[in-house]
Amino acid sequence: MANPVILSIDDDPAVSRAVARDLRRRYGDRYRVVRAASGADGLTALREIKLRGEQVAVLLADYRMPEMNGIEFLEAAMDLFPAARRVLLTAYADTDAAIDAINLVDLDHYLLKPWHPPEEKLYPVVDTLLQAWAASPDATATEIRVVGHRWSAPSFTVRDFLARNLVPFRWLLADDPEGVRLLAAAGATEADLPLVVTGEGKALVAPTEAELAGLAGLTVVPAADFYDLVVVGGGPAGLGAAVYGASEGLRTVLVERRATGGQAGQSSRIENYLGFPDGVSGAQLTDRARRQALKFGAELLSTREVVGLAEAGAARLLRFGDGTEIAAHTVVLATGVSYRVLDAPGLAEFTGQGVFYGSTATEAPSCAAQDVYIVGGANSAGQAAVHFARYAARVHLLIRGADLTASMSRYLIDQLDRIDNIVVHPHTVVAGGSGSGHLEQLTLCDTRSGETRTVDASWLFIFIGAEPRTEWLDGVLVRDRRGFVVTGPDLVTDGRRPAGWALSRDPYHLETSLPGVFAAGDVRAESVKRVASAVGEGAMAVSLVHRYLEAQ
Ligand X SMILES: Cc1cc2nc3c(=O)[nH]c(=O)nc-3n(C[C@H](O)[C@H](O)[C@H](O)COP(=O)(O)OP(=O)(O)OC[C@H]3O[C@@H](n4cnc5c(N)ncnc54)[C@H](O)[C@@H]3O)c2cc1C
Binding site for ligand X (CB under 6 A): 232-238, 255-258, 262-264, 266-267, 270-272, 305-306, 334-337, 358-359, 379-380, 383, 469, 521-523, 529-532, 534
Min CB(23)–ligand X separation in Å? 38
Number of Cβ atoms within 10 Å of the Cβ of 135: 15
Q: Label residue 190 left, alpha or beta by phi (over 0 means left) and psi (-120 to 50 means alpha).
A: alpha
* All residues at 6 or more sequence positions from 156 whose CB lies less than 8 Å from its CB, including other chains: 148, 352, 353, 356, 360, 362, 363
Min CB(54)–ligand X separation in Å? 33
Rounded distance between C-alpha atoms, residue 82 and residue 84, angstroms: 6
* All residues at 6 or more sequence positions from 285 whose CB lies less than 8 Å from its CB, including other chains: 236, 261, 264, 265, 270, 273, 531
Min CB(536)–ligand X separation in Å? 11
Min CB(416)–ligand X separation in Å? 14
Give the pairing of strands 299-301 and 306-312. unpaired
Number of Cβ atoms within 10 Å of the Cβ of 201: 10
State which residue, 148 or 336, has the beta carbon closest to ligand X.
Answer: 336
The three state secondary structure string of 310-361 is EEECCEEEEEECCCCEEEEEEEEECCCCEECCCCCCCCHHHECCCEEECCCH
Q: Which residue from 321, 136, 336 is spatially nearest to 231, judged by alpha carbons?
A: 336
Q: Which H or E element spans position 445? A: strand 441-446
State which residue, 431 or 532, has the beta carbon closest to ligand X.
Answer: 532
State which residue, 271 or 446, has the beta carbon closest to ligand X.
Answer: 271
Using a 10 angstrom Cβ sphere, with 0-12 exposed, 13-18 middle and 19 or more buried, the burial of residue 67 is exposed
Helices first, then strands: H and E counts in the chain: 15, 26
Min CB(262)–ligand X separation in Å? 2
Min CB(86)–ligand X separation in Å? 23
State which residue, 155 or 383, has the beta carbon closest to ligand X.
Answer: 383
Min CB(275)–ligand X separation in Å? 13
State which residue, 359 or 512, has the beta carbon closest to ligand X.
Answer: 359
Q: Residue 279 in 3-state DSSP?
A: coil
Min CB(335)–ligand X separation in Å? 3
- In the DSSP assignment, the letter for residue 488 is G
State which residue, 119 or 526, has the beta carbon closest to ligand X.
Answer: 526
Residue 333: phi, psi to the nearest 5?
Answer: -90, 120
State which residue, 26 or 469, has the beta carbon closest to ligand X.
Answer: 469
State which residue, 55 or 268, has the beta carbon closest to ligand X.
Answer: 268
